[in-house]
Homo-oligomer: A and B are copies of this chain.
Amino acid sequence: MQLPRFERVVVVGVGLIGGSVALAVRERGLARTVIGISRSPQSVDRLLELGVVDEATTNAREALAKADLVVVCSPVGAAVEAVLAGLRDAPEHALVTDAASTKSGLINQIYAEHPRGGDRYLGAHPLAGDHRSGPEWARADLFVGATTVVTPVPQTAPMTSDAISGFWGALGSRVLSLTPAEHDTRLARTSHLPHVVAAALAAATSEEDLLLAATGWADTTRVAAGSAALWRDILMANAPATAQAIANLQMQLTEWSQAIQNADAQRIEQLLEDGKRRRDALGS
């Protein structure tokens, strides 16, 4: 397969994900120049110091005007505005994609403003990350072996879809195509619910009990260290599916509780085996 190549890739929001996109593009030779857009002069300096991008600027309009591909890696709460700016300020030939964690609401808003957005835009969500944030944790191999979901809609132009899917694939990820709604429903179960559970477990632990927390607690609650503002926006943007996933888990927990209270050894073991089998299927 021929690698997609761009003269200039502009990354909007250069944190862990955006920084990793930039590093991967550069390491894999997918662009001549990678330009990062940041919100403050301090973070521009920081990006150049870290060597994550070739150029960095706070002047979004000027940078977007030079783009052949715009990759929006802003958090969910800022992603719509950034995609719209990309469609408005980048040249007519430039493609636009994003990496936001929820898709339906964002894509509806984009098409409401740009009924022809599908000519140039394809939504994406690379399922890669870390509980740490910031460009200092960026890695060129963050996407290797990860899945990137792309979310075409009927309006998406096939050539745009191919080019942008090819781009995410060229960063090392497996590309999986889902509708925006299907993405949101399934991510509620595999990502948003685990975050809620981790945070609820962590919050329910008293300071005194923390002394008794070992690796099990540490693993199970790890993602709760993620940014509260970022996750507030994700949960707000995917509210119905997340609430449904919580309700399903509560039913499961009721079953566990009954088996435990009834001292039903066989049922408890069955429940544990079901969990173990699914967990073992993923690997560590």
Residues in A lying within 8 Å of B, measured CB to CB: 127-131, 146-147, 149, 176, 186-187, 189-191, 193-205, 207-229, 231-232, 235-236, 239-240, 242-243, 246-250, 252-254, 256-257, 260-261, 263, 265, 268-269, 271-276, 278-282, 284
Closest to A218 in B: B282
In the complex, the answer to whether B221 meets A194 with C-beta atoms within 8 Å is: yes
The distance from the CB of A146 to the nearest CB of chain B, in whole angstroms, is 7
Chain B residues with Cβ below 8 Å from A272 are 199, 224, 228, 231-232, 235
Q: How far is the CA of A208 from the CA of B190 in the complex (A)?
A: 11
Beyond A195-B216, A236-B260, A236-B268, list 12 extra A-B contacts (CB 8 Å): A131-B216, A147-B212, A176-B212, A190-B213, A210-B281, A220-B222, A224-B276, A225-B279, A225-B284, A236-B265, A247-B257, A250-B250
| Copies per assembly | 2
Closest to A200 in B: B252
Q: How far is the CA of A61 from the CA of B62 in the complex (A)?
A: 82
Chain B residues with Cβ below 8 Å from A220 are 194, 197-198, 219-223
In the complex, the answer to whether B202 meets A279 with C-beta atoms within 8 Å is: yes
